[in-house]
Structure 1
Amino acid sequence: MTVQTKTEDCPVCQSSDDAGPGSDLVYGWIGCELCQRWFHPSCVNLSPHEIETISEYHCPDCAPKHGPSVLKRKSSRSRKKIDYIALNEGQQLREIDKHPHIDNFKMFENDRPLENLIYVVRPEVDGNESGLVTDSKLTQIIFETQLKRPILVPACNPALPNYKNCYDLTFNFPKMTVDQIAEEVGLDKELPVMDVLTQNNSPNWTLGKWRDYFKLKAQDRDRIRNVISLEVSQTKLNDKIELPKSVLDIDVVNKIFLACKSELEAHGIEKPKVSKYILMSVKDSFTDFHVDFGGTSVYYTILQGHKQFLMFPPTKRNLAAYEKWCLSDDQNSFWFGDLVPPTKPGKEPIDPAYMNNGVKIDIDAGDLLILPSGWIHSVYTPCDSVIVGGNFLNMLSLKNHLEVYKIEIDTKVPEKFKFPNFIKVIWLIGWFVMKNNNLTEFELECLSSLIPFYKSQLQDIENIDTADKYHKRIINRIKNSLPTSVIGKPADFVAEFERWYFLQTKKRKYDDM
């Protein structure tokens, strides 16, 4: 087969440009062995993978008379594509189209039926008199479980063909293709694209370039890549995506800015933009174990495709193992699941919702998953998939949010990978609840975590001179993040909040008598 760069015109497009329509310069031209004419591979619908299989090319005009192109002899021994980039960087020999942890992921099996590990919404159990699962019922489930276990709502998206007509839930997740997303957001939009093998972002990607990559056949993709952080709240898609009402009802950032938006914006405080992400994952994408920034909870729904989650609850021992794993030199060499100690009754006080040895969940198009705060999880994609998801802080999970923040400090997570303005938001929560006292008993109990957190931060600021260089940067960032124009002098605010909290808990006790 003859493949090279030529300067004569392609018989199909009449262009002498080396790069034919939609092609790349790896295979600029392909020559017919019979008529000796040269074609752009893209003009005769040949992919790089197909070109690799051809020994003698016959063009569309010659093939009907002389037979199809002659293919190379194929060895019965399968050949593995090696990741030479990783090899050159001194990492272990591995395949380029398979993350080394996928086999471990696939082998994991739940030790109990899924219904005993998470809350699966069932219309026959959770439906009202008309058999419908409503917003109020889903919110009730969230509060009854205290958002400690994953909640799965199967086939609940009316925009998709597998919708089960037994839901009355308020949200809008329209069916969208990658082409439609690219057109709505903009082909020139820069976006972070993860290289699945290294778990690092690749530079110089636009949404247009990503669209073209996503549409390639699996065998024609140079590497496995994944988009997991395209936030679209400032694009045309913002008005087309509506979060579940039950999520908005418990999202404390949404509550604060819904009630106090003008006041906060007058002080230059803007709402963090973390609630509307588009994820686009090609077949065999894999995101290694992680905890979402700030220990945020997550809503997650698939528009097309399929996903698998493997997750471990945020017990004290699991989080310690996670922190150790994060600090290891080469996470690709260690399967996090091997570091997780088995959960056994009596070993340590464990919340009943966390009494498991890991949970594996399959999520199909149309399903809605609500992932609780702090759960350590990895995600595998068995087929090309498009997803909408978002992160949210909530008062039910304050203790976890603050614990994960500490882990992020200890593991030196870069600022760009943290929840935007996390410290500012945490201090605004105390300010907000004193202005708008509409809390459940459990939410009030959860607020107790704020008092030692506030005091600890003030103490760190006071003792900054004794801190090392890294922690001085952290403390200065904390000091600059305090919303003093809203809360006033931090020490006075903490004293006021502590008095308010004491009076509220005392009042609740008297009311219960």
Structure 2
Amino acid sequence: MSEVQSNVLKKNVDTCDAVLKRLNSEKGDWKLLGMCMPEKNENGDDVRNMIIAKQATDSLSNKWDQISTCLSQLHSDMKSNAGAEVIREKRMRLFEALEGAEHLLKIWLDKLSEACENIKEASGTLNELKKSIEGTRKEINGILESLEKLENVPVVMPIRIKREIKQEVEEDILVVFENTPMSRAAGNAERNIEDKTHTTQLTYKDFVGQPSQIGSRQWISRFKDGEPVHMNKKTFCQIVEDGTDLFFVPQVPTLVKSTAGLGMKVPRNLGFPNLQEYLQSEERDEVTVIDSFKQKSLSKPMKISEVLNRFNTPSHERDLCINVLSNEESGSGTKFDREFRPPRLVKESLEKQLERVLIRKKDRIEEELEDGLITEERKEELIEQKKRIEQQMNAFPKYLKFVIVSMGGSFTNVHVDFSATSVFYHVFRGTKIFYLAQPTEENMAIYKQYETSGNAKKKWIVESLENEWERLVIEAGMTAIIPSGYIHAVYTPEDSIVVGGNFLMENQIARQFELSRLEEKMLDKGMLDYGSLYKEFNNVMFSYTENILFEKLASFHEIPVEDVEELKEQTSAMMNNLSKSDLATWYSEEDQERIIQKLKDLIPVDWFPVEEIPEVEAPAPIPLAAEEAENGDGEPEAVPEPDVTRARLHRACKRAGENF
């Protein structure tokens, strides 16, 4: 263990000691406060608020015991230098206990505020305990954050270790699948048991229908009848009971039946009656709405209150089929933003790794600036570095808290999520049905031709991929994890509330570039709007190269030989795709050229033949769709209007302050 790690742990142990002493001293106060609360007023009538407050106080006292126990165990584990897995388990228990205490305290304060006149003698204790619980939360969060820093994989950590952990987890998952009734095949049979009895008179051609009708009432009626049969001819997804073993994005789409073990914090009892409370803020009370019947966005945003009121209308009387896809809550300050935390595996995303590195670099700069012995020239250099890091952090992508609100009958057309981002998708209310096709070379060629073709409305891509789809039903309480690049469409059979998040992965750089370049071409042709892009993609790739990949390459000689291949793959993907871009606004053109050149200079001479190192000036052109290539002058056919279901997400990003 390094000296830095040892010092951090010692500080955490000291904090644990202080918190434990305070908790133990307060147990009696909580119980005493409960005894002070009368359950009847002067007339002998029951005081409902007081009864509830008393019950909450008793429960809170018990919860305090749990927190104290968890802290004691964490304290012992840190002193004995327990392994990361043990620490992680204790942290999870501590989180759960804290969340329970926070929930009870809210109930207690709400009810007690209306009856506090009856217990003036307890007001002093009450105020002290309110301050104490807030202080305890801050101290415990500090412990958890510092423990997370210790868990973070250093930039130059041997890749072999990461790969061994990943392989071990995946092997454990396979063992679970092979030795439980919920194996991959069994799971597929269970969730699609209706297919055994469901029949349809529709031929495949009739089921597909005319692309111009997609989303309409008539089309949806026909689609509902045929989709269980015609959209479920492959088996590649997997189902797991919970997220205990999911530390990384799995290699195939995975349905997680319970939130247990995912490390995801979700608001309690979120539903349509209280959704406005979770989404409303002083700065914003409107959202962009798609009418799924017409597959088009409404000309004007709609107030959140109006959106939710329309859900009270019986389905057969609705004139719109509302589908809200672009409502991103990160850093918004709303109740949802505060109370939702994405799954643990998101911490391994490329963005989260980069964010942690930028924070560490900023901390080191601030420490050096406090040194009174540095020269004025060095001070100016550090201030400029800090300014650049802060600019990047303020404009950092925020795509992890999309609250998706859909009416029954909504349909989102076939697409790949922007920049081939990986996705988590948790259903709070209702049901969602995904139709997924694997990102094979053949399937992706069909998809790219479809996206860039002027004939997209003449033939639906589902027809071209007739035998490639698997149907995945996500019910309330379930979470889906979808890896990079999967082609999919989504049908909503009943009114639904969902939270989804998009993120990049370090091992998918090539595919993410491939889709980003496709989207940029579509943007140039007017087939996609700017709001549907991962707008910071080029910025993030340059920053990742400068702040993470360079450090790996500079110290690659410290990496075991067996790990070099993985680093070579990452380097090759970046080397072949990173290019100057007007969209890389974090960097000047000169800075972009400098980073590209330094990447070439850092590549070990024996890794790639010289002729394989490209002189990258611009991204390679994406081949035209077949019908465009046939035009002698290279002019495409009439460009269709942007399809809001393919270019589906007008992404609200660039909000700072995400609490994750």
Q: Assess same fold via TM > 0.5.
A: yes
Partner of 2:239: 120
Partner of 1:422: 537
- What do the CA deviations read for 1:32-73 (whole angstroms, capped 9, x no partner)? xxxxxxxxxxxxxxxxxxxxxxxxxxxxxxxxxxxxxxxxxx
Once residues 151 and 504 of structure 1 are traced to their aligned partners in structure 2, the CA distance between those partners, rounded to angstroms, is 39
Tell me if the contact between 1:101 and 1:332 (Cα under 8 Å) persists in the aligned partners: no
SS in structure 2 opposite 1:405? helix
Tell me if the contact between 2:280 and 2:304 (Cα under 8 Å) persists in the aligned partners: yes
Range with bigger deviation, 401-410 or 325-334: 325-334
Q: Would you say 1:170 and 2:263 are equivalent positions?
A: yes
Q: Would you say 1:152 and 2:248 are equivalent positions?
A: no
Once residues 407 and 235 of structure 1 are traced to their aligned partners in structure 2, the CA distance between those partners, rounded to angstroms, is 34
Tell me if the contact between 1:308 and 1:379 (Cα under 8 Å) persists in the aligned partners: yes
User: Aligned-pair distance for 1:295?
Assistant: 0.9
- What do the CA deviations read for 1:311-351 (whole angstroms, capped 9, x no partner)? 11222222222223224457465332211276xxxxxxxxx
Do the aligned partners of residues 241 and 332 (structure 1) sit closer, same or farther apart at CA in structure 2, a change above 3 Å counting? farther
Alignment equivalent of 1:246, drawn from 339, 345, 351 = 345
Partner of 1:382: 493
TM-score by length of 2: 0.49
Once residues 94 and 370 of structure 1 are traced to their aligned partners in structure 2, the CA distance between those partners, rounded to angstroms, is 25
User: Aligned-pair distance for 1:378?
Assistant: 0.3
Q: Would you say 1:365 and 2:476 are equivalent positions?
A: yes
Partner of 1:198: 294
User: Aligned-pair distance for 1:200?
Assistant: 1.6
Do the aligned partners of residues 92 and 392 (structure 1) sit closer, same or farther apart at CA in structure 2, a change above 3 Å counting? closer
Tell me if the contact between 1:272 and 1:421 (Cα under 8 Å) persists in the aligned partners: yes
User: Aligned-pair distance for 1:119?
Assistant: 3.0
Tell me if the contact between 2:550 and 2:599 (Cα under 8 Å) persists in the aligned partners: no
- What do the CA deviations read for 1:257-309 (whole angstroms, capped 9, x no partner)? 22314545433552112111101111111101011111111100101111110
Once residues 271 and 443 of structure 1 are traced to their aligned partners in structure 2, the CA distance between those partners, rounded to angstroms, is 27
Alignment equivalent of 1:336, drawn from 461, 464, 467 = 461
- What do the CA deviations read for 1:173-201 (whole angstroms, capped 9, x no partner)? 22311342212322862211111123221
Aligned residues: 351
User: Aligned-pair distance for 1:496?
Assistant: 2.2
User: Aligned-pair distance for 1:94?
Assistant: 8.9
Aligned pairs for 1:438-453 within 5 A: 444=567, 445-453=569-577
Do the aligned partners of residues 251 and 443 (structure 1) sit closer, same or farther apart at CA in structure 2, a change above 3 Å counting? farther
Once residues 432 and 606 of structure 2 are traced to their aligned partners in structure 1, the CA distance between those partners, rounded to angstroms, is 44
Tell me if the contact between 2:214 and 2:295 (Cα under 8 Å) persists in the aligned partners: no
SS in structure 2 opposite 1:396? helix
The share of aligned pairs that are identical, in percent, is 23
Partner of 2:355: 257
Partner of 1:84: none
SS in structure 2 opposite 1:181? helix
SS in structure 2 opposite 1:168? coil
Partner of 2:643: none
Once residues 430 and 93 of structure 1 are traced to their aligned partners in structure 2, the CA distance between those partners, rounded to angstroms, is 42
Tell me if the contact between 1:309 and 1:379 (Cα under 8 Å) persists in the aligned partners: yes
Partner of 2:424: 299
TM-score by length of 1: 0.62
User: Aligned-pair distance for 1:372?
Assistant: 1.0
Once residues 219 and 304 of structure 2 are traced to their aligned partners in structure 1, the CA distance between those partners, rounded to angstroms, is 24
Tell me if the contact between 1:302 and 1:367 (Cα under 8 Å) persists in the aligned partners: yes
Once residues 387 and 218 of structure 1 are traced to their aligned partners in structure 2, the CA distance between those partners, rounded to angstroms, is 19
Partner amino acid, structure 2, of 1:493: I
Q: Would you say 1:180 and 2:274 are equivalent positions?
A: yes
Alignment equivalent of 2:403, drawn from 273, 278, 281 = 278
User: Aligned-pair distance for 1:101?
Assistant: 5.2
User: Aligned-pair distance for 1:453?
Assistant: 1.2
Partner of 1:219: 316
Q: Would you say 1:481 and 2:585 are equivalent positions?
A: yes
Do the aligned partners of residues 189 and 329 (structure 1) sit closer, same or farther apart at CA in structure 2, a change above 3 Å counting? farther
- What do the CA deviations read for 1:84-137 (whole angstroms, capped 9, x no partner)? xxxxxxx6699546547555534325335x4xx1232246xxxxxxxxx53xx2
Once residues 551 and 274 of structure 2 are traced to their aligned partners in structure 1, the CA distance between those partners, rounded to angstroms, is 41
Once residues 285 and 182 of structure 1 are traced to their aligned partners in structure 2, the CA distance between those partners, rounded to angstroms, is 21
Do the aligned partners of residues 330 and 384 (structure 1) sit closer, same or farther apart at CA in structure 2, a change above 3 Å counting? farther
Aligned pairs for 1:70-85 within 5 A: none
User: Aligned-pair distance for 1:235?
Assistant: 3.0
User: Aligned-pair distance for 1:375?
Assistant: 1.0
SS in structure 2 opposite 1:267? helix
Higher strand share: 1
Gaps of 5+ in 2: 1-211, 363-385, 609-660
SS in structure 2 opposite 1:298? strand
Partner amino acid, structure 1, of 2:430: G
Gaps of 5+ in 1: 1-90, 124-132, 158-166, 343-356, 459-474, 507-513
Once residues 548 and 275 of structure 2 are traced to their aligned partners in structure 1, the CA distance between those partners, rounded to angstroms, is 38
Tell me if the contact between 1:423 and 1:482 (Cα under 8 Å) persists in the aligned partners: no
SS in structure 2 opposite 1:242? coil
Partner of 2:510: 399
User: Aligned-pair distance for 1:481?
Assistant: 2.5
Tell me if the contact between 2:228 and 2:471 (Cα under 8 Å) persists in the aligned partners: no
Do the aligned partners of residues 108 and 341 (structure 1) sit closer, same or farther apart at CA in structure 2, a change above 3 Å counting? closer
Tell me if the contact between 1:302 and 1:385 (Cα under 8 Å) persists in the aligned partners: yes
Do the aligned partners of residues 307 and 333 (structure 1) sit closer, same or farther apart at CA in structure 2, a change above 3 Å counting? farther
Q: Would you say 1:107 and 2:197 are equivalent positions?
A: no
Do the aligned partners of residues 376 and 109 (structure 1) sit closer, same or farther apart at CA in structure 2, a change above 3 Å counting? closer
Do the aligned partners of residues 97 and 185 (structure 1) sit closer, same or farther apart at CA in structure 2, a change above 3 Å counting? farther
Once residues 512 and 312 of structure 2 are traced to their aligned partners in structure 1, the CA distance between those partners, rounded to angstroms, is 38
Q: Would you say 1:288 and 2:390 are equivalent positions?
A: no
Do the aligned partners of residues 381 and 435 (structure 1) sit closer, same or farther apart at CA in structure 2, a change above 3 Å counting? same
Once residues 404 and 293 of structure 1 are traced to their aligned partners in structure 2, the CA distance between those partners, rounded to angstroms, is 7
